[in-house]
Amino acid sequence: MMQKFQTFGPIYREKLGMYESVNIIDPEDAAILFKSEGRYPKRLMIPSWQAYRDFRNKAYGVLLKTGESWRHDRMILNKEAMSLKVIDNFVPLLNEVGEDFIKRVHMQIKKSGQGRWTADLTNELFRFALESVCNVLYGTRLGLLEDFIDPEAQRFIDAVTVMFHTTSPMLYLPPSLLRRINAKIWLDHVQAWDIIFMQADKCIQKIYRDLRLNQKSTGEYLGILPSLLVQDKLPIEDIKASVTEMMAGGVDTTSITLQWAMFELARAPSIQEQLRTEIITAETAAQGDLLKTLRSVPLVKATIKEAIRLHPVAVSVQRYTTQELILQNYFIPAKTLVQVGIYAMGRDPKYFVRPEQFNPERWLNDDPTHFRGLGFGFGPRQCLGRRIAELEMALFLIHILKNFKIETKRGVDIGTTFDLILVPDKPIYLTLWPLDSHP
Ligand code: HC9
Q: How far is the CA of 64 from the centre of ligand 1 (A)?
A: 11
pLDDT of 437 reads 60
Q: Between residues 12 and 367, which one has the greater pLDDT?
A: 12
Residue 213 has pLDDT above 90, yes or no: no
pLDDT of 420 reads 97
Neighbouring-strand partners of residue 418: 422
Q: What is the pLDDT of residues 173-202, one digit of tens each?
A: 888 888 888 889 999 999 999 999 999 999
List of residues 6+ apart from 99 with CB closer than 8 A = 399
What is the b/e burial string over 14-47, where b = at least 16 CB atoms within 10 angstroms of the residue's CB? eeeeeeebbbbbbbebbebbbeebeebbbbbebb
The sign one gets for the Cα dihedral 45, 46, 51, 53 is: negative
For the segment 263-274, the average pLDDT, to the nearest whole number, is 98
Proportion of the chain above pLDDT 90, given as a percent: 91
Q: What is the pLDDT confidence band of residue 436, given thresholds at 50, 70 and 90?
A: confident
pLDDT of 375 reads 98
Residue type, position 266, single letter: A
Q: How far is the CA of 242 from the centre of ligand 1 (A)?
A: 15
Q: Among candidates 349, 255, 350, which has minimal Cα distance to 307?
A: 255
Residue nearest to atom 3 of ligand 1 (CA): 420
Residue 110 has pLDDT above 80, yes or no: yes
List of residues 6+ apart from 300 with CB closer than 8 A = 275, 278, 279, 394, 397, 398
Q: Among candidates 56, 61, 49, 51, which has minimal Cα distance to 239?
A: 61
Q: Are 275 and 300 in contact (CB under 8 A)?
A: yes
What mean pLDDT value characterizes the chain? Answer: 95
Residue nearest to atom 18 of ligand 1 (CA): 63
Residue nearest to atom 26 of ligand 1 (CA): 249
Q: Is the pTM of this model over 0.95?
A: yes
Of 17-21, 150-154, 221-225, 375-379, where does mean pLDDT reach its minimum? 17-21
CA atoms within 13 A on the CB side of 53: 19
DSSP state of 199: H
For the segment 339-366, the average pLDDT, to the nearest whole number, is 96
Task: For residue 134, give Cα distances in angstroms to 15, 22, 138, 429.
Answer: 39, 38, 6, 27
Q: How far is the CA of 215 from the centre of ligand 1 (A)?
A: 38
Q: How far is the CA of 47 from the centre of ligand 1 (A)?
A: 11
Residue 147 has pLDDT above 60, yes or no: yes
- With the most atoms of ligand 1 within 8 angstroms of its CB, the residue from 137, 254, 421 to mutate is 421
Per the CATH hierarchy, to which homologous superfamily does domain 2-437 belong? Cytochrome P450 (1.10.630.10)
Neighbour tally for 375: CB within 10 Å:
23
Q: Are 319 and 427 in contact (CB under 8 A)?
A: no
What is the b/e burial string over 411-437, where b = at least 16 CB atoms within 10 angstroms of the residue's CB? eeeeeeeebbbbbbeeebbbbbbbeee
Please tell me the distance from the alpha carbon of residue 18 to that of residue 171, in angstroms, as a whole number. Answer: 9
Distance of CA 58 to the CA centre of its chain: 24
Residue nearest to atom 11 of ligand 1 (CA): 314
Q: What is the pLDDT of residues 308-333, one digit of tens each?
A: 999 999 999 999 999 999 999 999 99
Residue 18 has pLDDT above 80, yes or no: no
- With the most atoms of ligand 1 within 8 angstroms of its CB, the residue from 52, 63, 160 to mutate is 63
Residue 382 has pLDDT above 60, yes or no: yes
Q: Report residues whose beta carbon is within 6 angstroms of any ligand 1 atom.
A: 43-44, 46, 63, 245, 248-249, 253, 313-316, 318, 420-421
Neighbouring-strand partners of residue 421: 419
pLDDT of 215 reads 64
Closest ligand 1 atom to 377 CA:
20
Q: How far is the CA of 282 from the centre of ligand 1 (A)?
A: 35
Residue nearest to atom 21 of ligand 1 (CA): 314
